[in-house]
Structure 1
Amino acid sequence: MFDTGDPAALIDAMAAASRAESAAIAQRLNAIASLYQVRCRDYEEAQFWRTDVFEAVAAEVSAAQNISRGRAGNQVRLAVSLYQRLPQVAAVFARGDIDYRVLQAVIARTANVEDDIIGGLDESLAGQVRKWMRFSKAKLRDRIDVWVADYDPAAVRVPPTVEQNCYLEVEPHLEAAGMAMVGGVLDAVDAAAFDQRLDLIADSVCANDPRSKKQRRAAACGALGRGEGSLACLCGSPDCPAAKIRESAAQVVVHVLAEQATLEGTSRRPGYLAGFGVLPAESVRTAAKAAKLKPVRLPSSEPESGYRPSAGLRDFLQWRDLTCRFPGCDRPVAGCDLDHTKPWPFGPTHASGLKHYCRTDHLIKTFYTGPNGWRDEQLPDGTIILTAPTGHVYRTEAHGGILFPGLAVPTASVATTTPTDGVGRTAMMPMRTTTREQDRRERIRQERRRRLELNAEQERQRQAWLAATYEPPPF
């Protein structure tokens, strides 16, 4: 494919594809913004619900595109802001004159502009923004801010303080199974204490330990997480001076799912580390040496009598599902609710009628019902079939059942009856004290006030500098 084609035609094809890409994204965002408008009418009473219209639309977007709730929410937020506040910039984007990067910058930098001013700024930016495609991120930001300052000086975005940016994330490694990435921004004093503690733990082994200092510091994170003050030395000597009884200061439980053959060394099938994903067979066997082994028992064919499942059934459901079962959502079961597919007691407490939904999806399934709501059904093997408000149908299979087919063996079918929704059902929905729009306006108000304070301080410093450098003319 690389040896054919006229270069001029290839350039034309590349440019056309770039413009078509922007036009396609614009069409998608327009559809999302229009859906949001429709749902605002359909769910008028939901503005103070915890799972408000924004969450309801994000659920539909997540399912339709098979993406996470976070990504879907970002699209809803961007689409609504674009088509409600910047329709002329949206038209420029739909023609393919600017790309998604520029569009995101414009939306973010104009977020604090007052509603009665944004129309004029939108018109001006629409005439200029296509000239800024070549700019770097910093130059693009500065150029937009100049225009914002001309129209609404208080709306220029205020950079967040370092304290507001503090975070620490632990995520699965993108390339190496069984590994994780740790990173973040800490308070300097906390970071210094953390750094010293890692060094102390890393240096608790003898000089013959084969690991480098970097490797021992990495291992020290695990010891720190378990509440231990030292590492087990790997020198292999029975007379190691660093050998001692190491006791945990805190009880930490890490769950790993694996087949018996993997533990016995007769299979190389990987295991699963809850919250992190696939764990290589060698890592499973290493972890199992000091672990408490507990078999996952298949559930009984008979439903349980109460509303809450027994510990054994709960364990099976956690390992079968592993994540939230709503389409597009991959939140680990540790942060999910157990949901009766048919509300109890119309639906029994049984593996064929229970699955995990994260709290947001659980509330959506429970309260967004009826003609403009969601419906779900569950098959004996744990497959969930959801019907969206639009009639679109989505199927999700249990992640644990995919990785370990023994967990997807169909359990017994159970009888259900048709529930009758009680009057005032929505009164049980957790409520907000303020709407999402009120929260947005309050954030803008606070940031605008901070911008005015910064502008006043800059003007004070400028006047002081002018006064200090002023020399009266000679007479």
Structure 2
Amino acid sequence: MFETSDSELITFMGEEAREEAAAVGRRLALVGELYARRHPELEVLDLHCADAVAAVAAEISPVHNISHARAVSQIHTAITLRHRLPRVAQELRSGVIDYRMVATIIARTENVDDVVIGELDEAIAQHAMKWMKLSTPKLRDRIDQWVTKFDPAGVRVTPQVEQSRYLEVEPTQVGMAGVSGNIRAEDGAALTQRLDALAATVCEKDPRTTSQRRADACGPLGRGEATLACRCGSDDCPAAAERAASATAIIHVLAEQSTLDGSSDNPGYLPGFGILPAESVRALATTATLTPVALPAPDAATEPGYRPSAGLADFVRWRDLTCRWPGCDRPVMKSDIDHTRAWPYGPTHPSNTKCYCRIHHLVKTFCPGFDDYQLPNGDLVLSTPSGHSYRREPHGATLFPALCRNTGTLDLPDPPPPSGTDRCAMSPKRRQTREQDRRDRITTERQQRAQIIAEAQRERADLKRNTDPPPPQNNDPPPF
């Protein structure tokens, strides 16, 4: 395949590595430019859940074929390179540093004051190429050393154990119990559902994040309690009067009948965890309640109301399995059933309903320029503000052909033009913007770093006082 010498192979490898890094830099520059163009017209949505970042992430995730969360992360990286670290961005586009280096630089300089970030950007850009061979810990040390020179309070602070709690497979820290292991997928699904149920028993004013509530739910789960104590501090907390009704966790598995009766070894599917081997499906079936999926007729009638019936909702969720937005794999259990043509202009019907996760549902509904079209077999065609179109098949129908059904072509009239009503008024709001959240976090962390610096200075002063020699004593006799 390669008619080259060993030396040329090594040379070509280096050239390709540099071109790969440069391509990443150019791509991030394009992401930053798109956000700069979209944000002015979407700035009014900054306090909305579906803000400019969410809209741009929804637009770039299909072309990158990545999740919404990764798209949001790339937007943050692109904005930072464009506005705070342009010299580092220039080095990336030239290929002399790679994305690992850039990601570390962004993470370690995020708390640096805007007044000095330009000088620090220039200093780091001049040295970054020499740091390419350093390990990640050594690279962090070098960057922190330069941050200290320009802005000592901007050095990142290691998160406090109590504030960084979450339920994941991670090493434990002092004062916190770590949970680790490798368990069966069906057991993991049951555990996740139970933790979610306990975490949901507090009121909406509980100050903890969802991850922190899930971590705290391990205590009630281990003690066999039905609720998680709310921390809102209110005497009339509504959660205090409510209790979970059941301690039973229910999981759902999709499988073919031939797998259950042993005539085939086609795998099943466990929502949120993926493919489940046939033997695991049959083992679960021995104690499970078996319910066939109700398949709609080719000429299925439309349903009268906005909310789909239990049978239609069940079919749509099993047909889709995940959010239908290109690049998004959020499970249907955490998604909404959306009318492709908005109700009441589009009916509640299997050919006009599909699953979108909450953020993509909001983006499609409230952010201008997005439109979708659903085919009778469930395929979805999404159009973005740039004019690009993406077609996506329903995941469940791809894995299980019985769910790939033509549910009928709908003759839908064109919807009326938008009225003068401000639809954004109905969009869910944030407590504060993403930028305000970021500034609050930076302020808190800089205060923590300032306290650490002050404590270190006090310790050095105390040590100096204890080690300095005593002042010389004058032993001459007093004068007469």
Q: Structure 2 length as normaliser, TM-score? A: 0.82
Measured in 1, the distance between the counterparts of 2:183 and 2:70 equals: 37
Name 1:244's counterpart in structure 2.
none
Contact 2:351 2:376 in 1 (8 A): yes
Partner of 1:290: 287
Give me the whole-angstrom Cα distance separating, in 2, the residues matched to 1:451 and 1:391: 47
Checking the alignment, whether the CA contact within 8 Å between 2:61 and 2:68 is kept in structure 1 is: yes
CA contact (8 A) 1:228 1:249 kept: no
Change beyond 3 A, Cα 1:72–1:91:
same
- 1:447 aligns with 445
Q: Which AA in structure 2 matches 1:407?
A: L
Aligned counterparts of 1:330 and 1:18: Cα–Cα separation in 2: 30
Give the match for residue 133 of structure 2.
134
1:188-241 CA-to-partner distances (Å, cap 9, x unmatched) read 78749x89xxxxxxxxxxxxxxxxxx9999999899888899xxxxxxxxxxxx
TM-fit CA distance, 1:473 = 6.3
8 Å Cα contact 1:166/1:187 also seen in 2 = no
Separation (CA, whole Å) in 1 of partners of 2:389 and 2:35: 20
Secondary structure of 2:288 counterpart? coil
Higher mean displacement: 149-158 or 38-47: 38-47
| TM-score, normalisation: structure 1 | 0.83
Secondary structure of the corresponding residue to residue 328 of structure 1: coil
Q: CA deviation at 1:45?
A: 1.4
Matched residue, 1:178: none
- Supply the RMSD in Å over aligned alpha carbons: 2.6
User: The residue matched to 2:338 in structure 1 has which SS?
Assistant: strand
Give me the whole-angstrom Cα distance separating, in 2, the residues matched to 1:467 and 1:311.
Answer: 77
Separation in 1, partners of 2:280, 2:184: 19
How far, CA to CA, are the matches of 2:439 and 2:80 in structure 1? Answer: 13
| Code of the aligned partner of 1:392 | H
CA distance in 2, matches of 1:53, 1:223: 36
Letter in 2 for 1:140: L
| 2:468 maps to amino acid | Y
Which runs of no fewer than 5 residues in structure 1 stay unpaired? 170-182, 196-213, 230-247
Could you tell me whether the CA contact under 8 Å between 2:57 and 2:75 is conserved in 1?
Answer: yes
CA separation in 1, counterparts of 2:183 and 2:4?
55
Higher mean alpha-carbon deviation, 358-367 vs 108-117, is at 108-117
The answer on 1:299 being equivalent to 2:296 is yes
Partner Cα distance (2:312, 2:256) in 1: 19
Amino acid across the alignment from 2:46: Q
Q: Distance in 2 between matches of 1:130 and 1:223?
A: 48
Q: Distance in 2 between matches of 1:434 and 1:219?
A: 38
Is 1:397 aligned to 2:393, yes or no?
yes
* 1:412 maps to which of 399, 408, 413: 408
- Report the Cα distance in structure 1 between the residues aligned to 2:343 and 2:394, rounded to whole angstroms: 22
Alignment of 1:211-226 (within 5 A): none
Amino acid at match of 2:402: G
Instruction: State whether residues 166 and 186 of structure 1, in contact with CA within 8 Å, keep that contact through their aligned partners in structure 2.
Output: no
- Pick from 417, 435, 438 the counterpart of residue 436 of structure 2: 438
> Retained in 2: the 8 A contact 1:51–1:364?
yes
Q: Do the aligned residues in 1 keep the contact of 2:189 with 2:273 (CA within 8 Å)?
A: no
Matches within 5 A, 1:168-247: 168-169=167-168, 183-184=169-170, 191=177
Q: Confirm or deny that 1:309 pairs with 2:276.
A: no
Given that 1:338 and 1:357 are in contact with CA atoms closer than 8 Å, whether structure 2 keeps it comes out as yes
Match of 1:268 in 2: 265
Deviates more, 1:66-75 or 1:394-403: 66-75
Residues 344-395 of structure 1 show CA distances to partners (whole Å, capped at 9, x for unaligned) of: 11000000000000000000000113xxx10100001111100111011001
How many residues get paired? 421
Indicate how the Cα distance of structure 1 residues 357 and 268 shifts in structure 2: closer, same or farther if over 3 A, else same: same
Distance in 2, Cα, partners of 1:20 & 1:394: 28
Report SS of the residue matched to 1:302.
coil
Amino acid in structure 1 at the alignment position of 2:12: A
1:93 corresponds to:
92
Residue type of the partner of 1:451? R
Equivalent pair of 2:50/2:367 in contact (CA under 8 Å) = no
Question: What is the letter of the counterpart of residue 297 of structure 1?
Answer: A
Structure-2 residue corresponding to 1:116: 115
User: CA–CA distance in 2 between the matches of 1:166 and 1:13?
Assistant: 45
How far apart are 1:262 and its partner, in Å?
1.0
1:19-42 Cα deviation digits (max 9, x unpaired) = 111110000000000011001122
SS at match of 2:269: strand
Match of 1:429 in 2: 427
